[in-house]
């Protein structure tokens, strides 16, 4: 529980109850600059996800001096949905597959990495060889 809230940087409509909630900016090193809301009815919302942060930045009514926190609402251009047809498609699918590179490690905060299974395998082989060497003598 917070001992003292950070200064109010703006206002927003609460997701939970629809009332007016205050917006504050976090100062802790791990969350510096992230926005959080506090509603009298629903309490504190400190979610850090990109979608939540973007929503707050788009809907905030900033106080004087904090106008830089508001971002313009971006119009999402959606392609019209294609309905399924009974016959074959007239055009072949020429879209390229999403080929995102796989990171070398697991995101921060998780104690395992992708290198752990290799180390465990090598350790098992080493223990096996030491055990076999000890029984052969």
- Say what the pLDDT of residue 137 is: 57
Q: Could you tell me the residue ranges of all domains in the chain?
A: 8-69
CA distances to 81, 88, 89, 90 from 93, rounded to whole Å, are 15, 12, 9, 10
- Could you give phi then psi for residue 3, rounded to 5 degrees? -75, -40
Instruction: Give the Cα-Cα-Cα angle 60, 62, 64 (nearest 5 degrees).
Output: 175
**CB neighbours (10 Å) of residue 136?**
6
Question: Is residue 23 a contact partner of residue 14, using CB atoms and an 8 Å limit?
Answer: no
pTM over 0.85, yes/no: no
pLDDT digits (tens, 9 = 90+) for 2-18: 567 788 999 999 988 99
Residue 41: pLDDT over 80: yes
Give the chain's length. 137
pLDDT digits (tens, 9 = 90+) for 105-116: 555 655 555 566
Question: Is residue 33 a contact partner of residue 25, using CB atoms and an 8 Å limit?
Answer: yes
CA distances to 100, 111, 112, 118, 132 from 104, rounded to whole Å, are 13, 14, 11, 13, 34
């Amino acid at each position: 529980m917070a001992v003292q809230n950070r200064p109010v940087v703006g206002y927003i409509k609460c997701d939970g109850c629809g009332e007016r909630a205050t917006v504050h900016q976090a100062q802790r090193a791990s969350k510096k600059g992230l926005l959080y809301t506090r509603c009298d009815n629903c309490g504190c919302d400190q979610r850090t996800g990109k979608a939540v942060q973007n929503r707050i930045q788009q809907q905030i009514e900033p106080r004087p001096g904090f106008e830089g926190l508001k971002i313009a609402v971006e119009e999402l251009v959606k392609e019209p949905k294609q309905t399924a047809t009974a016959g074959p498609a007239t055009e072949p699918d020429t879209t390229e597959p999403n080929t995102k590179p796989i990171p070398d490690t697991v995101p921060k905060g998780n104690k395992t990495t992708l290198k752990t299974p290799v180390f465990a395998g090598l350790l098992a082989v080493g223990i096996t060889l030491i055990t076999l060497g000890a029984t052969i003598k």
